[in-house]
Amino acid sequence: MSKAVVLTRLGVLATTVLGRDPGLSTPEEYARVLAPAVNGDTNLLWLTQAAIAAVLPLHDDFERFRRDAALNGAAAAIGRQVARSSRVLAPNRSVQIRIATDTVIVDVHHTARTGLATGIQRVVRQTIQQWNSKAEVELVGWDSSFTGLRHLSEPERQNALYGSVPRIARPREWVLTIPFRTTYILPELAIEQGRTDRISCLAEFSGNQTTVIGFDCVPLTSSETVGEGMSAAFAKNLSALAHFDRVSTISRASATEYAGWKRMLSGAGLAGPEIEPLLLPSVAEEVSADDFERAREQLLSGQSTGSDAPLVVCVGSHEPRKNHLAVLYAAERLWLEGVSFQLVFIGGNGWNGAAFAEQLARLTNDGWPVKAISAVSDSLLWSAYRLAYLTVFPSLNEGFGLPVGESLSAGTPVVTSGFGSMKEIAAAGGAIFVDPRDDDDVYRGMRAGLLDEELHARLVAEAAELPSRGWSDYAAALWQYFVPQSVAPESERPASVT
């Protein structure tokens, strides 16, 4: 690392710590000037190491730096940090830094880069769309090696907000964003090890307010239903969240899971974060007449039973936890009994979905009216909910279960699991509850929903009476919980330091 680069970084650091850049000519001079302010302050020591190295620190690296400062003085520790960061093989040797203060940093790294539109991505996008107009919000991602945060490029920002520009190249040149005296919000699931290790250190030592949306603890409570390695990666995520300030879970059922984890932390001498449930909203999106007709043709055409047969829709990825094999079993049994309906699965392929694909192919080859559609648009999804006579969502475990709320908001009854968040969402009506681990009970629920006209009419009426609560309401409540009142409005904040 060149002397000019390190002096620039020290100048940015001094501007934040001292209120001005004294414009010194050597790192040693900066170290002497910064030492009195930094020495003994854990938050400032974290900031100092991040600024000099141009990486967000790891726990062991920071502890070594902090002990050095305590034993030998901050000036000597800063000097040794400069020397380490100047080595040929040190990461980010030429990266510039900026320190973001008194603002809100929203880490949407995965959402900004993926073409997926799973439940998590839908929650993230709907929420940050509501926050997008707030001047103090900055959307960030990570560099390719997960060493630090960076401001999103404009295409990444558009993809984070709308899912419109997936899988784009990362910018070759980037500036490290170091949050200090900010609120850091993690609205998605972070499972990349480098990312979670640095987030953990940030949460423990930086002094930033750290907050996260807690979706579920499925990789721990139902580890048999997730892909290999996911449980271990999720455990690393939880090790970082142990040092966070606040977790907003997406349901009371999810809060129960996180509360159990938090109680276990006492064995390690940790208090854990504050946990508060905030139920996700369920509001049906409008669909144009043209989009609705196109969806009708795509969803209902080509079925051997005819397009007038009742449509049953099952939304979700084809992984074991979603229990789609039970749906196929119940559907085949009903078809064999002569019940007329058509079944459409909407969702992408998931982990261990080979058995589902095999059964689906067999039923299709046998001429039964079933198909699967992936990579769907919002207009197709919401058209499907409205076209459906019934939806089915017998998941084995969910932090929320968006398809349940979405179906009910569109006025369509749902067959779903009679426990956890799914029962919580549909407790006020519109649902037939089943035991998802009992194939015969899933069959019973689907049969009742299709054949009991009086029951179906009652469920439709119940769904119509459910209160409406939109994403703007959810985002506002989440903001109020996550962002302390001390975050200054734009007019009262100093200019950004670059």
- The pLDDT score that the predictor gives to residue 166 is 85
**Angle made by CA atoms 17, 18, 20, in degrees to the nearest 5:** 115
Inter-helix orientation angle 193-205/59-72, to 10°: 40
Q: Where residue 172 falls among pLDDT bands split at 50, 70, 90?
A: confident
- Specify whether the backbone of 464 is left (phi greater than 0), alpha (psi in -120 to 50) or beta: alpha
- The pLDDT score that the predictor gives to residue 111 is 96
Of all residues in the chain, the percent with pLDDT exceeding 90 is: 81
Inter-helix orientation angle 42-53/27-38, to 10°: 160
pLDDT in tens, 225-264: 888 889 999 999 999 999 999 999 999 999 999 999 999 9
- The pLDDT score that the predictor gives to residue 303 is 47
Calculate mean pLDDT across residues 268-277: 97
- The pLDDT score that the predictor gives to residue 306 is 52
d(CA 277, CA 36): 43
* Whether pLDDT at 160 is above 60: yes
Calculate mean pLDDT across residues 151-173: 90
CATH class of 98-281+476-489: alpha beta
- Between the alpha carbon of residue 136 and those of residues 236, 283, 335, 353, 479, the distances in Å are 30, 27, 56, 42, 12
Give the number of residues written for the chain: 498
125 compared with 486, residue with greater pLDDT: 125
- The pLDDT score that the predictor gives to residue 491 is 37
Q: Where residue 302 falls among pLDDT bands split at 50, 70, 90?
A: low
pLDDT in tens, 47-106: 999 999 999 999 999 999 999 999 999 999 999 999 998 876 778 888 999 999 989 999
Calculate mean pLDDT across residues 442-449: 98
Share the mean pLDDT of the chain: 92
pLDDT in tens, 357-379: 999 999 999 999 999 998 788 89
d(CA 451, CA 84): 73
* The pairing of beta strand 137-142 with beta strand 149-151: antiparallel
- The pLDDT score that the predictor gives to residue 301 is 65
- The pLDDT score that the predictor gives to residue 124 is 97
* 76, 83 Cβ separation under 8 angstroms: no
**Angle made by CA atoms 352, 126, 311, in degrees to the nearest 5:** 55
Distance of CA 135 to the CA centre of its chain: 22
Calculate mean pLDDT across residues 337-353: 89
d(CA 120, CA 114): 12
> Which tokens is 40 given?
């003994």
- The pLDDT score that the predictor gives to residue 496 is 35
d(CA 357, CA 127): 33
CATH class of 289-468: alpha beta
Inter-helix orientation angle 119-131/402-409, to 10°: 70
Edge-to-edge strand ranges of the sheet holding 414-417 = 370-373, 342-346, 311-315, 390-393, 414-417, 431-434
pLDDT in tens, 390-440: 999 999 999 999 999 999 999 999 999 999 999 999 999 999 999 999 999
* Whether pLDDT at 288 is above 50: yes
d(CA 361, CA 265): 47
* 277, 249 Cβ separation under 8 angstroms: yes
* Whether pLDDT at 483 is above 60: yes
* 183, 208 Cβ separation under 8 angstroms: yes
* Whether pLDDT at 197 is above 70: yes
pLDDT in tens, 98-145: 999 989 999 999 999 998 778 899 899 999 999 998 888 999 999 999
pTM of the model: 0.89
pLDDT in tens, 206-218: 999 999 999 999 9
Q: Where residue 308 falls among pLDDT bands split at 50, 70, 90?
A: confident
Q: Where residue 493 falls among pLDDT bands split at 50, 70, 90?
A: very low
* Whether pLDDT at 487 is above 60: no
- The pLDDT score that the predictor gives to residue 88 is 67
